[in-house]
Structure 1
Amino acid sequence: MTQLDLFADLADHAAEPEPIPATFAASPRVNVAPPPPQSPEHRQSVTVESPASRPSGRPRPVRDPHRLAVEIGEAVAERWHNRHGGSAIEVPIGVVAALTLIGQKDPGDPDLKAQILAQDGPQMITMLREIWSTQWLHRPDLIDRARILHEWLNDDVDDYRMAAVLAVAETALKRGLFDLTGHADPFLRSATDVLSPVMMCMRSHGARLGLGEFHTPAPLAESIAAVTVSEMVTAAAGFAAQQPSPGDHIHDPAAGSGGLLRAAAQLLRERGHDPATYRWSMVDVDHIAAACAAVNAIVWSLGPHVTVACADSLANPNAVEDAMKEARAVYAHRDEVVGKAQIMATIRQTQHLLEQAHAPAA
């Protein structure tokens, strides 16, 4: 089975993936300096300069991560609406999503949460822009799929919205977001889907009904994943007779923010498998849900072989193949942008050396 490696070095072109059939269908991550893109799965570590910061250890795993995720979602929605943030719910969801993409660089460094909380509005907006930009360099396909969560940052952010953004970030962090997503260990970082309850709480009941949106509770998702993976012998051809094996394709045609695949990835880890060696694909008709799934794929370290499509699986059975074509185009655009940036940097460096060489002696 041809492997899809969409995370090549920036100097190389992305591999040309071939459409593949699904073989397992789950039922219906201030100033950030981009590090060199050399690891197969990148999740940003941030060092922020701030006064009165004290070192702290890594976040500890919480006893009930699903409950904490719901509490964060409820608190974020309440704070956004209390600040009259408006109907653009992609803004607060995007703020939380960006914060899930970063983590403490080193336990001995100044406390990341305290440093972020010490920022003012312009600093917060700058940090959010740089988080998304850095992630785009490493996974342009997923960040492009998540663009609804960050494209508002391309415009000027007025003081009113900036205050609401600050309030959301403060609420999410103080409620314990980094206790869920700040771990270096992807198993701990994947203990729950924090973006699902944020999205659900931001939407009204009527809006969810109109979208036909019913998210699977995390404990139920884990039970479904356990049963399904345990009975892979009855799944479609392509899996080993009794155990899943690297290269197998795990697909959810109505993924929401990816909760069932998170549970499947956790089960694989518990059985000694690395999810990054599998193929993952998710499809959802809702743009925000698909965007959250794309972010979660990075947070949960699903690896380089991930495709997220925004489409109706019933109306378009080729949604995954179409998304793979879009991914190839996005990677080509990324390579072109980076190539031009490298040329410009070389020209500027050459000009600087020439100016130094022709400068009059002191």
Structure 2
Amino acid sequence: MTQQLDLFADLQPAPARPQPKAPVTFAAKPSRSTAPSSPAPRPAKKQPSTPARPRTISVCPASDPHAQAMQVGEAVAGAWHRQHGGNHTHVPIGIVAALSLIGQKDPNGPDLATQILSLNDTNLIGMYREIWSTHWIRRPDLIDRARILHEWLNDTDIDKNRISAVRAVTEAALKNGLLTLTGYADPYLRSMTDVLSPVMMLLRSRGAQQGLGEFHTPASVAGAMAEVVNFSAVVDFLVAAPEAGRPRPGQHIHDPAGGSGGLLRAAAQNLREKGLDPADFQWSMCDIDEIAAACAAVNAIVWGLGPRVTVACADTLANPRAIEEAARHARAVIEHRDSILGKAKIIASVRQAQQLLDQAPECAA
């Protein structure tokens, strides 16, 4: 399994320290683990290269990515509750988020999903720890914002009941086509839907949804709205200044009540359809719900939004400076990462020097 698990560390060199309001990033290179049916083609302005069809186990081709995402959400929620996972819904959401961040090194090698499901309990938990820790090195600002989704892995002793629930959720996500939604190298193709949104909504009780004011719009309703309303015009307004006829690299795209980032995803897709790269723009969003903001942070990596992404968790009506405060916190997290890595390099250098001294022949008296 280790040989096939690609944490995308080789996708690009370590990011440079960001400018203010510009946290670092790296574009995720998802797994090639099973193929959905051909997604809607991109406009002629920017045709993506045809990706190798990924493979996965027991999955029907996904002609409708939104419906496939809902199927994953239903399967994950059902598996979690059947295993009596309880109210800690951040755990199954974190599992789906982690699986969305991984890829398969060799598309012709052993199937990644099959390898994951064959892991014993210790190695399965170890894999999830490795996914989050590796991505923290690359994107500490976003992974720190997603802390609620992975901090349960810090427990030294995870009980058998939780491990059983983790395994059930892992199997439900993989067998119901999660990697068919996140398994493309092209970020346009892996941004066809927001898989974390239905997972989050379906795991929450109706009362919790009403209390937080969060509801997932079914794909059929969204499709009907798209036929009645020119949604692309709404996205055009979001990504372009009123006086500009075309979005310009460097512009700031912001959603003050972003949920898990669905509107930013649509805006990013709209930019790609115009032949533009979302990584050339600045992105920010805020949501009052900690889990929703965590999902948005993970989605920013999955969707390849680029190096300048800020995700805040606050009430923007009560705190209009939430994005600025989140950007300052992100810079502090990056500095902390740099400090830790710097110390680690010093320790490694000292150990290497000591090894060389130990191997050197003794000097003649």
Is 2:263 aligned against 1:278? no
Give the corresponding residue for 2:146.
146
CA distance in 2, matches of 1:315, 1:276: 30
Q: Does the CA contact (< 8 Å) of 2:55 and 2:111 recur in 1?
A: no
Give the corresponding residue for 1:114.
114
CA distance in 2, matches of 1:15, 1:353: 39
* AA aligned opposite 1:325: R
Give the 3 Å change call, closer, same or farther, for CA 170–205 of structure 1 in structure 2. same
Q: Does the CA contact (< 8 Å) of 2:65 and 2:193 recur in 1?
A: yes
Give the corresponding residue for 2:310.
307
Give the corresponding residue for 2:54.
58
CA distance in 1, matches of 2:192, 2:302: 11
* AA aligned opposite 1:226: S
Moved more, 127-136 or 104-113: 104-113
Give runs of aligned pairs for residues 312-323 of structure 1, distance below 5 A. 312-323=315-326
Q: Residue 310 of structure 2 aligns to a residue in which SS? A: strand
CA distance in 2, matches of 1:343, 1:45: 32
Q: Does the CA contact (< 8 Å) of 1:45 and 1:105 recur in 2?
A: no
CA distance in 2, matches of 1:18, 1:68: 33
Q: CA deviation at 1:95?
A: 0.5
Give the corresponding residue for 2:164.
163
Q: CA deviation at 1:117?
A: 1.2
Cα deviation 1:312-356 (Å, max 9, x = unaligned): 011111111111000110000000010011111111111111111
Give the 3 Å change call, closer, same or farther, for CA 331–224 of structure 1 in structure 2. farther
CA distance in 2, matches of 1:231, 1:14: 28
Q: Does the CA contact (< 8 Å) of 1:11 and 1:335 recur in 2?
A: no
CA distance in 1, matches of 2:22, 2:302: 25
CA distance in 2, matches of 1:18, 1:270: 24
Q: Residue 307 of structure 1 aligns to a residue in which SS? A: strand
Q: CA deviation at 1:9?
A: 6.3
Q: CA deviation at 1:166?
A: 0.7
Give the 3 Å change call, closer, same or farther, for CA 308–150 of structure 1 in structure 2. same
CA distance in 2, matches of 1:140, 1:96: 19
CA distance in 1, matches of 2:217, 2:201: 11
TM-score (normalised: structure 1): 0.83
Give the 3 Å change call, closer, same or farther, for CA 10–336 of structure 1 in structure 2. farther
Give the corresponding residue for 1:337.
340
Give the corresponding residue for 2:20.
16
CA distance in 2, matches of 1:208, 1:344: 48
Residue among 29, 43, 47 paired with 2:28? 43
Q: Residue 88 of structure 2 aligns to a residue in which SS? A: coil
* AA aligned opposite 1:255: G
* AA aligned opposite 1:187: Y
Q: Residue 320 of structure 1 aligns to a residue in which SS? A: helix
TM-score (normalised: structure 2): 0.82
Q: Does the CA contact (< 8 Å) of 1:182 and 1:189 recur in 2?
A: yes
CA distance in 2, matches of 1:44, 1:347: 34
Q: Does the CA contact (< 8 Å) of 1:93 and 1:199 recur in 2?
A: yes
Give the corresponding residue for 2:234.
228
Give the corresponding residue for 2:207.
206
Q: Does the CA contact (< 8 Å) of 2:289 and 2:314 recur in 1?
A: yes
CA distance in 2, matches of 1:359, 1:204: 71
Cα deviation 1:205-261 (Å, max 9, x = unaligned): 00111111134456369767512234469x7xx465211111111111110000111
Unaligned runs of 5+ in 2: 1-11, 33-51
Cα deviation 1:156-178 (Å, max 9, x = unaligned): 21121111101100110000000
Cα RMSD for the two superposed structures: 2.7
Give the corresponding residue for 2:176.
175
* AA aligned opposite 1:84: H
Cα deviation 1:3-50 (Å, max 9, x = unaligned): xxxxx965854323389xxxxxxxxxxxxxxxxxxx962426679xxx
Q: CA deviation at 1:268?
A: 1.1
* AA aligned opposite 2:316: S
Q: Residue 244 of structure 1 aligns to a residue in which SS? A: coil
Q: Residue 79 of structure 1 aligns to a residue in which SS? A: helix
Give the corresponding residue for 2:251.
248
Give runs of aligned pairs for residues 76-91 of structure 1, distance below 5 A. 76-91=76-91
